[in-house]
Amino acid sequence: MSDKVPGIQHIIATSSGKGGVGKSTISINLALGLMQKGFKVGIADVDIYGPSIPSLMGLEDEHPQVLGQTLMPLQKHDLKIMSMGFLVGQDTPAILRGPMITKFIHQFVTGVKWGELDYLILDLPPGTGDAQLSLSQQVPLTGALVVTTPQSISVKVALRGLKMFEKVNVPILGIVENMQGWATPEGPSPFHGGKKLAEISGAPFLGSIPMDQTVAISGDEGEPLMIRYPESDAAQAFRGIVSGLLDQVNHLAAAPAALGSFKWDLKTGEGKPKSWED
């Protein structure tokens, strides 16, 4: 699917093969990091079965307005936000099957009055099920970010998710490693799962978020790290990852133009970029 959603320049999915890797924390802070660079950003929590964005943003008891058939996103720190948790409550189980999941995901992208956005971040449920497949079929994704932790098991599961996106022709914008440096009896973790996943897959490694207590504190307080602790080591790491993400998006946007600049001589079988011509 290539047609853009009106008003939204880029849609980026954050994905993880398994739960518990901090994907939603990554999504929120990357969205805020993009905003701090001057972009207009929204985040849609399409983790149908376990929405956590309301808690991370301190919006557990809030509900969106509905105008006709359109949902109005909530807004905090100038970030536009929509979550399944706003509609059914975070403690209420969402019992949905495949077709309904597809409908909800599509509604969260096209049925919300996002306005003009440079970036819409989609926080996916973990795994490679109906939600991920529906997303790739229903939503014009710029690309996907894959979140992992240092452990080997997390890398193996994340690789399955990465391959799923590749099979449905969704570009992988990068890999983010969370919780780097967690302690072991021998000292800091010797594992570097993000780099290993990048080596295996060939996808770009954007960086690691260190194991930092400010990340946990800000999540518990409902005040994102990039707002609550902007000078922390973790916040600095997020800024580096945001810069890498922007580089990948720009590179992806330039690729079709670069391909289109080549001429091909059918008689000689030779071709060269127009920029090489005198």
Helix H or strand E encompassing 8: strand 8-15
Using CA atoms, how far apart are residues 155 and 169, in angstroms rounded to an integer?
21
**The pTM is what?**
0.85
Residue 76 lies in a domain: yes
Q: Are strands 74-76 and 79-83 parallel, antiparallel or unpaired?
A: antiparallel
pLDDT band for position 139 (cuts 50, 70, 90):
confident
Percent of the chain with pLDDT over 70: 82
User: Up-side HSE of residue 213: CA atoms within 13 Å toward CB?
Assistant: 1
Residue 251 lies in a domain: yes
Q: Does residue 210 surpass a pLDDT of 80?
A: yes
Percent of the chain with pLDDT over 90: 45
The number of domains in the chain is 1
Give the residue, 111 or 190, on which the prediction is more confident.
111
Among 25-29, 74-78, 138-142, the least confident range: 138-142
Residue 178 lies in a domain: yes
Residue 56 lies in a domain: yes
Residue 151 lies in a domain: yes
Residue 216's pLDDT is what?
87
Q: Does residue 90 surpass a pLDDT of 60?
A: no
pLDDT band for position 271 (cuts 50, 70, 90):
very low
What average pLDDT does this structure show over 49-68?
Answer: 89
Residue 223 lies in a domain: yes
Domain span holding position 139: 8-276
Among 16-30, 194-208, 249-263, the least confident range: 249-263
Residue 3 lies in a domain: no
Residues 6+ apart with CB under 8 A from 41: 31, 32, 34, 35, 79, 80, 117, 118, 119, 120, 121
Residue 115 lies in a domain: yes
Q: Does residue 241 surpass a pLDDT of 90?
A: yes
CATH number at residue 128: 3.40.50.300
Using CA atoms, how far apart are residues 181 and 210, in angstroms rounded to an integer?
6
